[in-house]
Amino acid sequence: MKFNFANIKKAEKLLNKSECVAIPTETVYGLAGNAYSKESIKKIYKLKKRPKINPLIVHFYDYRDATNDVHLNANFFKLYKKFCPGPITFILKKKINSEIHSMVSANLNTVAVRFPYHKITRAILKKISFPLAMPSANVSSGLSPVNAEDVADEFKKKLKHIVNGGKSKIGIESTVIDLTRKPMILRPGIIGLNNIKKILNLRINIYKKNSKIVSPGMLEKHYSPGIPIYLNKKTVNYAHAQITLGNKYNHKKNFFNLSKKSDLKEAASNLYKTLRK
Ligand code: AMP
Ligand code: MG
């Protein structure tokens, strides 16, 4: 993908004026705004029609930039060293003097922080003097976009600017891990439980629906294409479209294969694109 400096410059300018812009990351496209600015954050929630109880992830260039806003602990540094920049989000305690607007984390005393590796995201983060609050660039409860055309489709003319960075390589959201207590995975992602266990040398739990709610934002309806979807079907109804994995159902009409090789990384990168189709 070619670097388009004019497009990046325009994104910086708008962000500096508390506007929202869509930018590519390696996971999915994000709707970015200044995490310190109430005006920007209000615009993000409004554009996405996102419930105010669903907190946003804050993106930094590197850990040094995050030291004024959150308490970085030993588990954080172990995981940071191994996986960052990359598709992992850490829940950390917010510092008392942090400038991150309280709406960003839905008035919690914690903040979700991530350090993306996408070249364009990093180029923008390096230039600006504030972190970016950035949820996925889709209307709330819908499918996350993995290319610039899908973002345009989500917001039509309501967005001032979209930086086109080609297709997001990973294609699903970051792994979210709470490090404010005994580490717990709040949202599974491409960096798996076993990888994390190995680095922390600890038993790690995965958040379950009936455990105590740690994040009010874990809403029931998520990633919805707007039509009914059935999961883990054992039988085929040929009147429906089918999303499959592996080579069992090759060449059938209305069958969409996520990965013929059953490669989970390939499947992840095709998931939202296929659901949108
Ligand atoms: P997204 O909608 O992809 O931006 O997802 C953000 C995810 O991070 C959601 O699952 C949120 O609940 C979670 N999250 C953001 N901030 C916090 C926080 N302070 N504490 C716990 N979870 C958070
Ligand atoms: Mg989202």
Which tens digit of pLDDT belongs to each residue from 160-209? 999 999 999 999 999 999 999 999 999 999 999 999 999 999 999 888 76
Q: What is the pLDDT of residues 13-52, one digit of tens each?
A: 999 999 999 999 999 999 999 999 999 999 999 999 999 9
Q: Put residue 246 in one of left, alpha, beta given phi > 0 → left and psi -120 to 50 → alpha.
A: left
Among the listed residues 167, 213, 203, the one whose alpha carbon sits nearest the alpha carbon of residue 183? 203
Q: What is the pLDDT of residues 116-132, one digit of tens each?
A: 999 999 999 999 999 99
Structural element, H or E, at residue 198: helix 193-200
Confidence grade of residue 6 (pLDDT, cut at 50, 70, 90): confident
CA distance 124 to 15: 10
Centre of ligand 2 to C-alpha 132, Å, is: 15
Is the pLDDT assigned to residue 246 strictly greater than 90? yes
CB 113 within 8 A of CB 176: no
Q: What is the mean pLDDT of the chain?
A: 93
The rounded percent of the chain whose pLDDT value lies above 90 is 82
Mutation probe of ligand 1 site: the residue of 27, 47, 48, 56 with most atoms within 8 A of C-beta: 56
DSSP-derived 3-state class of residue 80? helix
Ligand closest to 138 (CA) is 2
In sequence order, the 6+-apart residues with CB closer than 8 A to the CB of 227 are none
DSSP-assigned states of every residue in 89-121: EEEEEBPTT--S-TTTTTT-SEEEEE----HHH
Centre of ligand 1 to C-alpha 90, Å, is: 10
Is the pLDDT assigned to residue 243 strictly greater than 90? yes
CB 55 within 8 A of CB 106: yes
